[in-house]
Amino acid sequence: MSFLGLDLGTSGLKVLLTDDEGEVIGQADHAYPVSHPHDGWSEQDPADWVAALQNAVAALRAVHPEFDYLRGIGVSGQMHGATLLDKSGAVLRPCILWNDTRSHAQAATLDGDPTFRRISGNIVFPGFTAPKLLWLRDHEPGVFARIAKVLLPAAFLNHYLTGDPVGDMSDASGTSWLDVQSRCWSDDLLARSGMAVAQMPRLVEGSVPAGQLRTELARDWGLRHTVTVAGGAGDNAATACGLGLLDEGAGAVSLGSSGVVMVARGACTPAPQTAVHTFCHALPGRWYQMGVMLAAADNLNWLAKLVSMPPQALIAELGDVLRPPGPVRYLPYLAGERTPHNNPHLRAGFAGIGARSSRCDMTRAVLEGVCFGLRENLEALRATGAAPKRLHAVGGGARSPYWVKLLATVLGLPIDVSAAQAGHGAALGAARLARLAATRATVADVIVQPHDTYEVLPAAEHVAVFEEAFTGFQNAARAAGDSAASLLPSD
């Protein structure tokens, strides 16, 4: 038997093929674009997701005969996106993504109703799904009137695979429509945002069957057996499954396009006042909390594009030995911020640049600014009672030894890194959910921690000076938040 894990990310689709012992047989990646029609907007064409899936499947089939014996598929997806279908199942417009902040006014309106925080357990952030629908009601009423289903990106792929609009609780937690404690849609929250449960996908736990692969897809892909499609998961819950992070206090830090510090929790203990997210885990009876930066490695990607160099080359210029904080400072807010500021108007900026400042100074400032932002997320999590003793680094940035050493030093925690899973944890987690849904395997056998990790400790000689620099970062971030709204154009 083989199993397929799909990670529908912001920049591309990552696909892993695993065997019945959970070992990786093959992988395929396929990129697709993001559109930014206006400042703060972020959209994607769902047709690009389907094309990426078909291309990835073709690539795996070409070199891995084990694909013919596929028995399960799991989908992990970027959260919060609004993919809208009409009654015929046709896509009405491009998907509005998680990092789109156009609906900040609608989010503030919903968040002003205490019912949302009480039932959903979370602040209504501009990137969440519910305020996007209010924005559409206000600005695209023709589209809004035709909406038959609102699907998150992973649920859209589930729909494509099975023909049934179905999602899971971990992904639905980021809509502002889910009762996170009871793990079901809230009729009350839906009604308060002009929606109905009939417009939502059916929900299942991430590790149980959501349906079977459509006959025509099974035929086109040359499959020999019936294929079970799992409920799947939001990207961070899937990553946790890929890393075996289920028990209280087990956590991860992501240096991906966005930044995340997440910790598994054994109970649902929302603390929305901290701007920490409290979501269902992908397995029944479990939850997790996380702080989110809207831009992490994207800050380095932005700088790399500006100076016409690959991101890896910029980091390589810094050498192998961690340096103390540089003279240039950077606030990593390219598209506003969630945790802990909940401010869509925050924007990035350098400080301390002088005539002698170099490209290396700017690179150091960007890496340090991202790490300081993640430290703010860690402190917000600690305010909820979460107490991680170590974190597992994932995402593309986790491939940089310099950045991981810097992160361990700023966070003051040991960081574990798995070279094989740094960039594919969510896809592996999705494949594991597929195995659970399609077989009689147990959670204890499937959701295990990686065996190829190495530990990165804080640089003791630099901890104090980075602690001082973090205090300066916090002061600068607060000042930027206080002034951000007044600096916006009056449109």
Residue numbers annotated as active site: 235
Q: Which residues of 119-137 are buried (b: 16+ CB within 10 A; e: fewer)?
A: bbbbbbbbbbbbbbbbbbb
**391, β-bridge pairs:** 415
Query: At how many degrees (to 10) do helices 297-307 and 359-382 cross?
Result: 170
Contact 135, 103 (CB under 8 A): yes
Residue among 456, 435, 454 at smallest CA distance from 444: 435
146 burial level (CB within 10 Å; 0-12, 13-18, 19+) = middle
**Which of 303, 401, 388 shows the shortest CA–CA distance to 353?**
303
Closest C-alpha to 251, from 93, 413, 112 = 413
Calculate the CA 469 to chain-centre distance: 28
Residue 480 CA, distance from chain mean position: 25
- CA 120/CA 25 separation, integer angstroms: 39
User: Strands, DSSP E only, in 174-328?
Assistant: 178-179, 184-185, 202-204, 209-212, 228-230, 233-234, 251-255, 259-265, 277-280, 287-293
